[in-house]
Amino acid sequence: MTARLAAVLWDMDGTLLDSEKLWDIGVRELSVHLGGEMTDETRHALIGSAIPTSLQIIFQGLGLDPSPSRMAEAETWLNRRVTELMSGPIPWRPGARDALAAVRAAGLRTALVTNTQRTITELCLDTLGRAYFDVSVCGDEVAHGKPAPDPYLSAAELLGVAPERCVAIEDSPTGSASAAAAGCAVLVIPCEIPVPAQPRYTFRDSLIDLSVADLEAIRRAA
């Protein structure tokens, strides 16, 4: 007899918000600022990554020396540009708003679990609504970001629930790997790039009409 679903752990960029498109503008402009156009291969490797990892991938792709001072300058530049982009209205992913409300109405515990840093996440929470989340965990608040399990382990601990009783909802290979490594069932709704099937993953095309009964079934199946 397994315990019931206790919590839903939401990824942010590409899952709840269509914000990967804003990140896309930021990282492509950063690449040009650093000296060259970004290849699609580099762009795809960035999806779901935290900024320190993203910068390493961008520098490597451009063949640049990742000296601490150049990396720090690039990080400041990217943070400033993405903050500008995220200060306007951010579009939702299809069905996300209703799915958040349905989970909330069912009385499940909820967390926002993102590789994005706290300052930018707070701008996104203005769009999302803070009342939908009991806790939030950001990329700069854990030792290792996704794909390491740390963000999801931290969220489950803050909620006081076992990861095995949680469903994580993700759009990227990086984020899905993090949630599965933490022991969560993973509902995968790919956004920008395909996600290869893995144990514990259940796939859907969108969040439209997602019910709590669907989430219970996903947890039982994992």
Which of residues 7, 8, 10, 13 is near Mg ion by CB under 5 A?
13
Please report how close the Cβ of residue 81 comes to Mg ion at its closest, in angstroms: 19
* AA letter at 23: W
Q: Is 14 in the site for Mg ion (CB under 5 A)?
A: yes
Binding-residue total with Mg ion (CB under 5 A) = 7
On the 0-12 / 13-18 / 19+ scale of CB atoms within 10 A, 217 is middle
Burial 142-168 (b: 16+ CB within 10 A, else e): beebbbbbbbbbbbbeebebebebbbb
Nearer to Mg ion, 158 or 193 (CB): 193
Q: Is 192 in the site for Mg ion (CB under 5 A)?
A: no
Q: Strand, helix or coil at 133?
A: coil
On the 0-12 / 13-18 / 19+ scale of CB atoms within 10 A, 118 is middle
Nearer to Mg ion, 34 or 96 (CB): 96
Instruction: Name which of residues 145 to 184 contact Mg ion (CB under 5 A).
Output: 171-172, 175
Q: Is 54 in the site for Mg ion (CB under 5 A)?
A: no
**Which residues lie near Mg ion (CB under 5 A)?**
11, 13-14, 48, 171-172, 175
